[in-house]
Amino acid sequence: MTADHALPELDPVIHAQARLRVMVTLNTLADGDEIAFPVLKDLLGMTAGNLSVHLSKLEEAAYVHIIKTHKGRTPITFVALTKRGRLALEDYTTAIRALLDSAGGTS
């Protein structure tokens, strides 16, 4: 493979399976919408601890926004995909497609 046809780089923050599932799920929300942490946890079938760890990584990359608030006296956490996160997922998807397309020509 020449330098002109180098394989695309995959974002390591998104590439982890659990974080990819989080990003794809959040991407189904309309721009500016958020989802409650327990709902996201149930949708993904993840434990609270595991989801928290992955959300922290995504938050460090500014791909998600975590909103901690209260409903009455009950604390509640909401998660939203940021504009940067949407763009990163679009770039990741483009890179995966390019990678798959490049594999199609080698058989």
Q: Which residues pair with 70 in a beta bridge?
A: 75
Average pLDDT over residues 93-103: 90
d(CA 31, CA 3): 37
pLDDT confidence band for 104 (50 / 70 / 90): confident
- Asked if the model's pLDDT at residue 107 lies above 50, the reply is no
- What is the band of 3 on the pLDDT scale with cuts at 50, 70, 90? very low
| pLDDT over 60 (residue 1) | no
Task: Establish if 105 belongs to a structural domain.
Answer: no
Q: Is 2 within a domain?
A: no
Amino acid symbol at 6: A
End-to-end CA distance of the chain: 14
Separation of alpha carbons 74 and 8, rounded Å: 45
pLDDT digits (tens, 9 = 90+) for 32-58: 999 999 999 999 999 999 999 999 999
Q: Left (φ > 0), alpha (ψ -120 to 50) or beta: where does 14 sit? A: alpha
| Number of domains the chain is built from | 1
- CB of 25 within 8 A of CB of 43? yes
Confidence (pLDDT) at 103: 77
The reported pLDDT for the residue numbered 5 is 64
| CATH code of the domain covering residue 64 | 1.10.10.10
Q: What band does 105 get if pLDDT is binned at 50, 70 and 90?
A: low
Q: Average pLDDT of the chain?
A: 92
Domain that holds residue 31: 12-100
